[in-house]
């Protein structure tokens, strides 16, 4: 089920994107226990917030909710779907280095190495389990959002030195912007 089927809805009421550094971004999230209307409403709101901010993926901890759920690109371009209690069951040996952004780090793109393809399992908004093999941007996005559920941000995938340099660059940029 594609999330765009639910649009249009009003923009999120009190949902806000949590920016780095914040404790919810380094916490391990808890499994979702029930897929009900309340959860579906939360996901639709999360989706709207992601679209409003030109994101191509967002995880629940990024709005302060430490539950194992995120939104990532669907197979058909321009569509998005929700992954609940996701798992990566196998990964390719081949890795690809490519620039990656994150809504919790506005205006920062960093080159991150990710597995080229992965096998995954997750529940959808009907609570049905799906197994699929992901490639390209879908594989990259899934790995990025999966990290969020484990309290890991993309910069943690860099060496200590490169992380420090990237953070310094980002903070400088943010300062200039708010001036």
Q: Is 145 a catalytic residue?
A: yes
Q: What is the CA radius of gyration of the chain?
A: 16
Cα–Cα dist 122/68, whole Å: 10
User: By C-alpha distance, which of 134, 137, 153 is closest to 145?
Assistant: 153
Contact between 68 and 30 under an 8 Å Cβ cutoff? The reply is yes
* CB nearer Zn ion, residue 60 or residue 102: 102
- Minimum Å gap between C-beta 34 and Zn ion is 25
- Minimum Å gap between C-beta 104 and Zn ion is 5
Total binding residues toward Zn ion, as defined by CB under 5 A:
1
Mapping DSSP to helix (H, G, I), strand (E, B) and coil, where does residue 115 land? strand
The stretch among 10-18, 25-33, 102-110, 168-176 that binds Zn ion (CB under 5 A) is 102-110
Cα–Cα dist 167/179, whole Å: 18
Residue 41: half-sphere exposure toward Cβ, Cα within 13 Å: 6
* CB nearer Zn ion, residue 105 or residue 122: 105
* CB nearer Zn ion, residue 127 or residue 162: 162
The stretch among 8-16, 32-40, 76-84, 96-104 that binds Zn ion (CB under 5 A) is 96-104
* CB nearer Zn ion, residue 22 or residue 131: 22
- Minimum Å gap between C-beta 75 and Zn ion is 21
Q: Which of 71, 102, 118, 141 binds Zn ion (CB under 5 A)?
A: 102
Indicate if the alpha-carbon torsion angle 18, 77, 154, 161 is positive or negative: negative
3 binds Zn ion (CB under 5 A): no
127, 33, 6, 76: CA torsion to nearest 10: -50
- Minimum Å gap between C-beta 126 and Zn ion is 26
Which residue number is nearest to Zn ion in terms of Cβ? Answer: 102
Catalytic residues: 145
Q: Which residues bind Zn ion (CB under 5 A)?
A: 102
């Amino acid at each position: 089920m594609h999330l765009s089927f639910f649009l249009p809805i009003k923009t999120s009421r009190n949902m806000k994107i949590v920016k780095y550094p914040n404790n919810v971004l380094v916490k391990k999230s808890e499994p979702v226990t029930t897929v009900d209307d309340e959860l579906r409403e939360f996901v639709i709101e999360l989706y709207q917030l992601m679209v409003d901010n030109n994101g191509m993926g967002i995880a629940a901890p990024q709005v302060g909710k430490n539950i194992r759920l995120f939104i990532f690109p669907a197979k058909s371009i321009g569509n998005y779907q929700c992954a609940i209690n996701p798992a990566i069951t196998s990964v390719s040996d081949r890795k690809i280095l490519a620039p990656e952004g994150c809504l919790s780090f506005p205006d920062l793109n960093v080159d991150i190495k990710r597995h080229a393809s992965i096998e995954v399992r997750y529940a959808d908004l009907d609570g049905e389990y799906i197994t699929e093999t992901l490639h390209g941007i879908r594989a990259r996005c899934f790995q990025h959002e999966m990290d969020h559920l484990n309290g890991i941000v993309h910069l943690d995938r860099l060496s200590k030195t490169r992380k420090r340099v990237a953070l310094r660059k980002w903070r400088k940029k943010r300062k200039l912007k708010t001036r």
